[in-house]
């Protein structure tokens, strides 16, 4: 996937492209700017320290078993969201997804557009089911999952649910 311009429902343009190892500084900046509430919802607890090893893991991905799509604001040049999947070793038709949108950009349709792009990437590499561990009160994320296709939900303890979505063909 090359860089693509999408438009939010309000017309604002956003750039989406796969992350590369060059994106470490911007990813670190994004993590530092995420509100404690959003960081907690993304990482289901305290976010990892942005050590070089963590940042390398999150950016230097192979785009087949681990994909990470970044969205940026063309006006500022800064990253505003990341969505990723990591393929399941035991069942390569499945992958776990995670997504975080910068607070000022939430509820503007960006999660929907980014997850749509991620699902397209997932299908292209043979993934048919996306899974995620989500806080049970994370209505926005649960609604996003429903956009992907038929979903199943199972309580997974500590206020979380394991969600599975079969990707639309
Ligand atoms: C959850 C998250 C990814 C949603 O992204 P977003 O860009 O805000 O979502 P969208 O604007 O595309 O909205 C998708 C749907 O969720 C709804 N929604 C979004 N945030 C919501 C909220 N806080 N409460 C209720 N509904 C919400 C929207 O109204 C929309 O509903 P629709 O399907 O009926 O149209 C984003 O809020 C986020 O990054 N949160 C912090 C990190 C996180 O929770 N990550 C998920 C862990 S995997």
Architecture of the 4-128 domain? 3-Layer(aba) Sandwich (3.40)
- Ligand 1: residue of 111, 140, 156 to mutate (most ligand atoms within 8 A of CB) is 140
Kindly list the domain boundaries of the chain, sorted by start residue.
4-128
Q: For residue 109, how far is its CA from the centre of ligand 1 (angstroms)? A: 8
Give the per-residue pLDDT at 169: 80
Reading the chain (169 residues) residue by residue, the pLDDT tens digits are 889 999 999 999 999 999 999 999 999 999 999 999 999 999 999 999 999 999 999 999 999 999 999 999 999 999 999 999 999 999 999 999 999 999 999 999 999 999 999 999 999 999 999 999 999 999 999 999 999 999 999 999 999 999 999 998 8
The pTM (predicted TM-score) of the whole model is 0.97
Q: For residue 25, how far is its CA from the centre of ligand 1 (angstroms)? A: 25
Ligand 1 pocket, residue 111 CB under 6 Å = yes
Residue nearest to atom 46 of ligand 1 (CA): 42
Q: According to DSSP H, which parts of the chain are helical?
A: 24-33, 36-43, 52-59, 110-124, 139-148
Q: What separation in angstroms does the CA of 124 have from each of 18, 31, 131, 150, 167?
A: 14, 28, 17, 19, 11
């Amino acid at each position: 996937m090359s860089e693509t311009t999408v438009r939010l429902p309000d017309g604002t343009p956003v750039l989406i492209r796969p992350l590369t190892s060059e994106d470490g500084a911007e990813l670190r900046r994004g993590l530092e700017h995420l509100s404690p509430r959003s960081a907690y919802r993304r990482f289901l607890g305290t976010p990892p320290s942005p050590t070089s090893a963590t940042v390398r893991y999150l950016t230097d991905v192979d785009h087949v078993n681990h994909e990470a799509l970044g969205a940026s604001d063309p006006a500022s040049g800064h990253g505003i969201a990341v969505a990723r999947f990591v393929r399941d070793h035991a069942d390569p038709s499945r992958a776990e997804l995670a997504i975080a949108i910068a607070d000022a950009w939430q509820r503007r349709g960006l999660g929907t557009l980014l997850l749509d792009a991620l699902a397209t990437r997932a299908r292209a590499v043979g993934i048919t089911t996306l899974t995620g561990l989500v806080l049970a009160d994370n209505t926005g994320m649960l609604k996003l999952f429903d956009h992907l296709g038929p979903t199943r939900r199972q309580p997974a303890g500590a206020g979380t649910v394991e969600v599975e979505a079969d990707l639309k063909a």
